[in-house]
Amino acid sequence: MSSKSTSSPSCIARKKRHSEVTENVASSKSQADEKMTYFYAELIKKREQLIPIILDSGVSTELERRGAKMRNGQWSGCVAIDDYEKLVETHIAYIEAGADIITVNSYASSRLMLGPAGLGNEVQQINRLNISAAIEARQKTRANVSVAGSISHVLPFTDGVEGAKQQPDISPEELSDCYSEMISIFENEGVDLILLEMMSIPARMTPLFQCANKSSLPIWCGLSAKRETPTAPLTSWHDTSVSFEDIVIQACQYDFDAIGIMHTSVDAIEAALVVIKSNFSGMLMAYPDSGYFVAPNWQFEDIIEPQVLLEYAKGWQKSGCSIFGGCCGLGPEHTTALSKLKSV
């Protein structure tokens, strides 16, 4: 397996060395071969053939829509012990909708989220069940899909507030311990890649990126952005004083197979992809959200129609994006629509 180092060359330098798509594909294929993950290697074969890769849509919000319990503070973090069968059912729905990748329901189940609720002793069990549910869905459907372990730097939600914005500082050491624990679980329980989700707070991103960079698994990094008006510059989703390009550059210092934009309004995706592409030469991904959050529930209001999402995605594809999915608020019907990109 290839070793990773935080001294990796900058994205711009890598772009100069890998200016052709075919070179990017060859590099990704080499990494997949070294990591010896069958399902991940199958994804790279699709990339070689220029076939779009379809990521599932929102797992937590689909669980909510199907009646799973959302806990105050921990959101969907405990569904694996509250309603395991519904979790398997949700993964199966995304597989049947055409997803090439299903995401482990671990976004809100790190020690950062579960510890304050007195569930620190259950972190290992809950996340093993999270992974088991995804793998069980793959086995039941006999589908050739990858399982992605999700990690975020999110902290417990406060009722009616968008989560991490108002949370206290946590030391880099504590963050690293929590991230390392999650990555170790993923490596030991059989996921095919790690998906870093909703990256937007630089101080929390650094420890996570350093831990992820040491993993033997492929790493895909999902950044989140916003803009105050349609013509305003993109900023970090959580901190409008930080430019989106700054967090892109930060992510580019590490050896990630893919970098993309997620949990971001659909009308800001194209601009975000332009920023990422100007700094990064690897695989690009896009998976927007729709609706809004009032803890502990997602508000399914003004959700983008699947066909409208598909039309946006066709434009992202022309801009070089190769991985497409949905985040909060989007469901299997959106995955079905995005799967049509394979025949475009």
Query: What ranges in 142-230 are assigned the alpha helix state H?
Result: 172-189, 202-212
- Taking residues 272-299, report their average pLDDT: 94
Q: 11-343 has which CATH code?
A: 3.20.20.330
Q: What is the percent of the chain where pLDDT is above 70?
A: 86
- Taking residues 17-21, report their average pLDDT: 34
Using one digit for the tens of pLDDT, what is the confidence trace for 293-304?
887 789 999 999
Q: Output phi, psi for 243, to 5 deg.
A: -75, 150
pLDDT above 80 (res 180): yes
DSSP letters, 29-88, are HHHHHHHT-HHHHHHHHHHHTTPPEEB---HHHHHHHTT---BTTTBTTTHHHH-HHHHH
DSSP letters, 221-242, are EEE-EE-SSTTSPPEESS-TTS
Mean pLDDT, the chain, whole residue set: 88
What is the model's pTM?
A: 0.88
Alpha-carbon span 41 to 343, nearest angstrom: 22
pLDDT above 70 (res 272): yes
pLDDT band per the 50, 70, 90 thresholds, residue 158:
low
Q: Kindly report whether the peptide bond that precedes residue 296 is cis, defined as omega within 30 degrees of 0.
A: yes
- Taking residues 280-289, report their average pLDDT: 97
pLDDT of 295 reads: 76
pLDDT band per the 50, 70, 90 thresholds, residue 160:
very low
Name the one residue in this structure whose structure tokens are 């070689």: 48
pLDDT of 168 reads: 62
Alpha-carbon span 189 to 326, nearest angstrom: 25
